[in-house]
Amino acid sequence: METIKKGRPQKGWTKEYECTGAGNKGGGCGAILRISQRDLYKTVSEHWDGNTYYTSFTCHDCGVETDIPDPGVKLLGKRPKQKE
Ligand SMILES: [Zn+2]
């Protein structure tokens, strides 16, 4: 294969999400954030009849966690330490 004209550089998966605090009692600041795989991590909600897993990110402006539908990408982030 030969590149005749270079395309745009691949920057990996990103998607825009709103900071809503969904799944975490709300209270998000409403910022629109460009989220990459490194911002996403899995969270678990423990119930008496089993655990439910969510994909989440934490807004860097207000620190509120928002759950999003499974984006179908590998999650590379880690949950930030909770403030005490
Ligand atoms: Zn926020």
Per-residue pLDDT tens digits for 10-47: 778 999 999 999 999 999 999 999 999 999 999 998 88
pTM for this prediction: 0.79
CA 29 to centroid of ligand 1, rounded, Å = 4
With residue 14 as reference, give the H or E element that holds it: strand 14-18
Residue 26 is predicted with a pLDDT of 94
CA 27 to centroid of ligand 1, rounded, Å = 8
Residue 43, classified by CB atoms within 10 Å of its CB into exposed (0-12), middle (13-18) or buried (19+), is middle
CA 57 to centroid of ligand 1, rounded, Å = 10
Distance from C-alpha of 56 to C-alpha of 39, rounded to nearest angstrom? 8
CA 31 to centroid of ligand 1, rounded, Å = 5
Q: Is the dihedral of CA 51, 54, 41, 28 positive or negative?
A: negative
SS3 38: helix
Amino acid at 61: D
Amino acid at 43: T
CA 26 to centroid of ligand 1, rounded, Å = 10
CA 35 to centroid of ligand 1, rounded, Å = 12
